Amino acid sequence: MSEPTKGTEIAALEAQRNEAEVRADGALQGERRSAIARLVMIAMFAAVTNLSPEGNDLTTGLIGFAYTILAVSTLVVVYRLRRGDPGKARWRPVALTFADFALITTMAILDSHRTGEFHPARNVIAAAIIMSFAVTRYSVWHVVLSTALAMTCFAIASHDGGQLATSTTAFVLAGFAVLGVIVAMTNHAVSRMFYGLRQRDNLTRFLPRQVADRVIRAGPNALAPVEREVTVMFSDIRGFTAMAEGLSPTDVLAMLDDYFGRMGQIVKGHDGVVGKFMGDGLLAFWGVPDRVDDHAVRAVRAARDMRRAVRELNQWREQTQLPPIRIGIGIHTGTVAAGMLGGALQSEYTVIGDAVNVASRVEGLTKDHDVDVLVSETTWAHLPEPRRGTRLASAEIRGRKEPVVLYTLDAGAATIQVSPEPQEGSRY
């Protein structure tokens, strides 16, 4: 019995598939622009041909008409496609490339026969335009094909015009080779750019932008599993079920989208990671994948700004006669395992461990103490002096033998600073 495929192998295959789809999407966008450029080129050469002293003939007109139909059909097809297909992106441009170069070669030969002289300038310009179409195509091999056809077709046309063994022809062929190298390099850079933008878009959904950029540069190893001390935050909306009863599903979704958009930006603004949204709840953490020494400070700063953002949001809701939003935030510092979970098809970067469970329990205790922010003693110990806040109590946490000492931040605190810890027996 063969060994099951490893998750890392599945992830690698999925990454290859994603890259192929991104390249196909980019190729489709490029093909749309090329289709417009093709029609502009047809109009340009039609005008030049009709204005020339030799005029136009029936054969040239019929070939131009057939090519125009092909160009218009291509334009319609590429704009009707919604997504790029890697398989079709490989072979469709090949047929178009042959058609493009067949046209300019045929037109060059007909022009030579009609005027008795080969005019290389038109052929070179047309070939260069067609070669530029390959900038965004799926594979660099499309560039190689365009370059080879440009050189071959020019050689055929110049041979028919009796100018093959000339320095001009040699110079043009060398120029096509240089242009092909430039286009190939650009094609590779554009493909990587499209893929990098898609990666960055996906990663910045839960990682701060600077962390996402580092992950893109460092590759998958940047998100390798680690065990590290971090600060974990849980938050949710108080009374959300009752609030949602009076709203339509669309209104509930709109409210959550606005709320999570604000909270997520605050978390990432303080270099935190948005782990996941859970109904009306949010999981965030600091200290992974980038190691930061002041992860507790950053988490408390984020909690402070989330509190302020909810106040500002409630001012607007009051003006529009909507009920206010109340939130609870629990913060705890401890050791977790962090890494990608969920397999290749739907993976997410998250944290696992006792610290996560404690942070969730601490957040739940905000209801019992009627406060919006609760901080565990381990997080409190990481905050710099002086501290402004209140020790509330020691609470039993399900699944833990030792109670957790809880602190809350002053409601009006504008900074993370909290007042000196009160002595035992004093009023908290």
The total number of residues written for the chain in this structure: 428
E strand or H helix that includes residue 33: helix 7-51
pLDDT number for residue 1: 41
Measured between alpha carbons, how far is residue 414 from residues 233, 271, 422 in Å?
A: 19, 19, 20
Q: Is the CB of residue 29 less than 8 Å from the CB of residue 47? A: no
Please say if the pLDDT value at position 300 is more than 50.
Answer: yes
pLDDT in tens, 17-56: 667 777 888 888 889 999 999 998 888 877 776 766 555 6
Please say if the pLDDT value at position 10 is more than 70.
Answer: no
Burial degree of 110 (CB within 10 A; 0-12, 13-18, 19+): middle
Q: What is the C-alpha separation between 271 and 266, in angstroms, rounded? A: 9
Please say if the pLDDT value at position 220 is more than 70.
Answer: no
Task: Give mean pLDDT, residues 63-80.
Answer: 91
Please say if the pLDDT value at position 169 is more than 80.
Answer: yes
Backbone angles phi, psi at 173, to 5 degrees: -65, -40
pLDDT, mean over the chain: 83
Q: Is the CB of residue 126 less than 8 Å from the CB of residue 46? A: no
Residue bearing the bigger pLDDT, 81 or 203: 81
pLDDT number for residue 428: 22
pLDDT number for residue 412: 56
pLDDT number for residue 390: 86
pLDDT number for residue 15: 58
Q: Is the CB of residue 359 less than 8 Å from the CB of residue 379? A: no
**Inter-helix orientation angle 86-115/58-80, to 10°:** 160
Task: Give mean pLDDT, residues 154-159.
Answer: 91
Task: Give mean pLDDT, residues 307-329.
Answer: 92
pLDDT in tens, 86-126: 888 888 899 999 999 998 899 888 888 877 778 788 889 88
Tell me the β-bridge partners of 237: 327
